[in-house]
Amino acid sequence: MERTFAIVKPDAVRRGLTGDILKRIEASELTIVAMRKIQLSRADAEKFYDVHKARPFFKGLCDYMTSGPVVVAVLQGEDAISKWRQLMGATDPKKADAGTIRKDFGIDVEQNATHGSDAPETAAQEIAFFFAAREILS
């Protein structure tokens, strides 16, 4: 079993899409083993996205991710990382496959409804950033 990290981003929460996204997760082969709705502080957003600090989009990304509540979650299942990434679709909703979350709910590359870890190491770091081990139910 593998775990991955997911965020329902501010644009999707604001547009009332959280339930639709969670339904797609639950209908897939993934299980939600931890979840909560939070408001990221600027400091948290900057720390979480520190890997992008030198990139020109960093400030805008932090502005966006602190613009409203998000839902953070830990997903579990066989090949959870690749399955969640498939379910989300390409980062750019215009390039995402039909039926994916980003194709159906994304607005643009930034406001693309969801985030997902890209590798096991990243997933472990991202999960630990938001959740204590005791909060994850297997």
pLDDT at 7 over 90: yes
pLDDT at 138 over 90: no
Residues noted as catalytic: 115
Q: What angle do CA 102, 108, 110 make, to 5 degrees?
A: 95
Q: Which CATH architecture has domain 2-131?
A: 2-Layer Sandwich (3.30)
**Taking the complete model, does pTM exceed 0.75, yes or no?**
yes
| pLDDT, tens digit, 9 for 90 and up, residues 27-39 | 999 999 999 999 9
Sheet holding 114-116, edge to edge: 31-38, 70-77, 2-8, 114-116
Instruction: Domain ranges for the chain, please list them.
Output: 2-131
| pLDDT, tens digit, 9 for 90 and up, residues 84-97 | 999 999 999 999 99
